[in-house]
Amino acid sequence: MVPFGGRIRVIHRDAVIAETRRAIRVLETSHAPMYFVPPSDVVTDRLARGTAQSYCQWKGAATYWSVFTRGLLVVNAAWSYETPLPEYEAIRGYYAFSASLLDECWVDNEQAAPNPGSTSGGWITSNIIGPFKGEPGTEHW
């Protein structure tokens, strides 16, 4: 988990959902990086509490958020950790976004691809080298 000073942008249906140069980059074993955006850099009136539930053994219980833009609701397209485990206190209340559910997730000037077959939320850019858990044949790593 490290501060990321590059530009992170999340866009859906031509509406900016998040834009920051103050993200926190989180790496998990065998997954592409996730970027957590501070709430002050997210258009939070485009978010509504989602329905999913999950628990990460390192970060704790996730709160899911649906994204509403231009008449469309994308269910559980973002998540946050409202009460993270102590080691991840820095991401408390920050939002991560699903590159597989939203139209555009950008790292600097490159549109990221989603971590294939995974709900980890990882964003793949040209400087990230796999293989990544979630790709075909990685189910039993």
Type of residue found at 93: G
Asked whether the predicted pLDDT for residue 136 surpasses 90, the reply is: no
Asked whether the predicted pLDDT for residue 28 surpasses 70, the reply is: yes
- Residue 83, token pair as written in the block: 């009460």
Q: Please name which of 74, 82, 63, 10 lies closest in space to residue 41, comparing C-alpha atoms.
A: 10
User: Look-up: residue for tokens 């390192």?
Assistant: 58
- Residue 24, token pair as written in the block: 């926190």
Average pLDDT, integer, range 23-51: 93
CA-CA distance, 103 to 107, in Å (whole number)? 14
Asked whether the predicted pLDDT for residue 125 surpasses 80, the reply is: yes
User: Look-up: residue for tokens 């209340």?
Assistant: 93
**CB-facing half-sphere around the CA of 19: CA atoms within 13 A:** 5
* Averaged pLDDT of the chain: 91
* pLDDT tens column, 47-85: 999 999 999 999 999 999 999 998 899 999 999 999 999
CA-CA distance, 139 to 86, in Å (whole number)? 29
Average pLDDT, integer, range 116-121: 68
Asked whether the predicted pLDDT for residue 120 surpasses 70, the reply is: no
Q: Which residue has the higher pLDDT, 10 or 141?
A: 10
pLDDT the model gives residue 29: 72
Domains in the chain and their CATH numbers? 2-124 (2.170.150.40)
